[in-house]
């Protein structure tokens, strides 16, 4: 996404309670960051495409704005898309230092006997964690999934508990896992919305491991198998994620693509065929890229305003944001964005850094597209006796004058 400073109308309510008149604060966009000619021409956004899958969702990765959804909260079987969470747990174990990519796993009889798609490991075979991950991510090996689950948690049942723990942490309320593979179980379910959340979390939390999802093939035990995500061959912008299929679940695909710095995530559940899940996912992604753009308005830690502080060693404190702000808007509407900063009418020391003292709201016409808390960027210590007393007197005079002016 292109980094820009939003041209905004800043309405800052100062500590005295008086408002500064709105002023158009135009910040030129650097030439290197400007879109190509005619890209800023606003055009109407057509209705979202209707596809044949039972449920689906299209989301921008950075802004988390939902661009398209249909039955996104309907309970569905995830099939092998389950392995997204299996991998997420394994990646977390790697990051925490509990396992390494180089250590070996002894393949159990249970892992070997697990039905469905396989990477063709054998009982008693010593396989590295990395090979098992690639066998699971690229070849969708159920045997690899069970071997990893047993290695991490001792049993697949215990590993499913870890999967549900991370589902809760990621705020996937409509998901429950019973196994590491996605093989059918009446208590094993999810939604398109939760799969999109998990997909985005995988990309965000594990950038070092995510590239495995874009690998087109993997050879193990002298057997070469191709990635079942056929979109990897169709569109170079697509770099993941995972397919799934059972008779009950239908054909499913969680996909992600990045074009010109804008990343989208889609989840298509219950499609009619392998080819339709790919074409339907491509349709959603193309729609998002063609008619929307994502811009970064502010960076984490960026100072947006200053505010008067009473009874402090400093008379002002800078205000900013703890996280970066992205918005996804119809293409060509960037110059129509406006923002308002509102700050509490009176701030008094002591103030800790990070104290919430106001909000910044970004609007596109009548639509609120982003709202974030403003926080103090530094600590303001309380002034001594004379400084505090003098500010108290000024506050009293201000209050007296305001009261005296009332009818």
Residues with catalytic roles: 80, 83, 140
User: In angstroms, how far is CA 301 from the centroid of its own chain?
Assistant: 19
- Note whether 90 and 152 are within 8 A (CB): yes
CA distance 203 to 365: 32
Phi-psi group of 266: left, alpha or beta (phi > 0 → left; psi -120 to 50 → alpha; rest → beta): beta
How far is residue 311 from each of residues 47, 183, 354, measured CA to CA in Å?
55, 64, 19
Torsion, Cα of 142, 144, 146, 150 (10° steps): 180
Distance CA 177, CA 160 (A): 6
**Whether the Cβ atoms of residue 318 and residue 375 lie closer than 8 Å to each other:** no
Nearest-10 crossing angle of helices 83-95, 192-205? 30
CA distance 194 to 55: 12
Phi-psi region of 157 (alpha: psi -120 to 50; beta: other; left: phi over 0): alpha
User: 75 and 193 in contact (C-beta within 8 Å)?
Assistant: no
Please answer whether residues 359 and 374 qualify as being in contact, where contact means their C-beta atoms are separated by less than 8 angstroms: yes
CA distances from 255 to 91, 116, 280 (A): 19, 22, 11
């Amino acid at each position: 996404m292109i980094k820009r400073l939003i041209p905004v109308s800043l309405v800052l309510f100062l500590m005295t309670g008086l408002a500064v008149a709105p002023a158009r604060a135009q910040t030129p966009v650097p030439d290197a960051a400007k879109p190509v000619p005619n890209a800023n021409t606003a055009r109407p956004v057509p209705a979202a495409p209707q596809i044949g899958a039972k449920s689906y969702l299209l989301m921008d990765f950075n802004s988390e704005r939902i661009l398209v959804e249909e039955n996104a909260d309907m309970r569905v079987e995830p099939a092998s898309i389950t392995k997204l969470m299996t991998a997420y747990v394994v990646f977390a174990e790697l990051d925490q230092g509990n396992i390494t990519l180089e250590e070996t796993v002894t393949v159990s009889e249970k892992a070997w006997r697990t039905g469905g798609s396989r990477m063709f490991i054998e009982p008693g075979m010593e396989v590295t964690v990395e090979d098992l991950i690639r066998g699971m991510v690229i070849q969708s090996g159920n045997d690899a999934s069970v071997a990893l689950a047993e290695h991490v948690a001792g049993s697949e049942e215990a590993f499913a508990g870890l999967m549900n723990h991370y589902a809760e942490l990621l705020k996937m309320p409509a998901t429950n896992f019973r196994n590491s593979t996605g093989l059918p179980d009446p208590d094993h379910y999810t939604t398109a919305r939760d799969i999109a959340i998990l997909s985005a979390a995988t990309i965000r939390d594990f950038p070092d491991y995510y590239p495995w999802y874009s690998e087109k093939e993997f050879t193990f035990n002298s057997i070469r198998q191709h990635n079942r995500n056929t979109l990897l061959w169709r569109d170079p912008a697509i770099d993941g994620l995972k397919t799934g299929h059972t008779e009950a679940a239908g054909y499913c695909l969680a996909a992600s693509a990045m074009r010109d710095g804008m990343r989208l995530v889609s989840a298509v559940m219950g499609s009619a065929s392998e080819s339709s899940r790919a074409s339907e996912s491509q349709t959603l992604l193309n729609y998002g890229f063609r008619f929307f753009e994502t811009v970064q308005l502010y960076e984490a830690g960026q100072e947006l305003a200053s505010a008067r502080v009473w009874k402090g060693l400093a008379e002002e404190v800078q205000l900013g944001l703890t996280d970066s702000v992205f918005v996804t808007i119809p293409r060509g509407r960037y110059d129509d964005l406006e923002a308002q900063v509102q700050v509490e009418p009176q701030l008094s020391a002591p103030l800790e850094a990070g104290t919430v003292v106001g909000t910044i709201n970004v609007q596109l016409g009548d639509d609120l597209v982003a709202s974030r808390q403003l926080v103090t960027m530094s600590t303001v210590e309380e002034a001594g006796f004379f400084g505090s007393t003098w500010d108290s007197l000024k506050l009293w005079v201000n209050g007296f004058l305001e009261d005296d002016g009332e009818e």
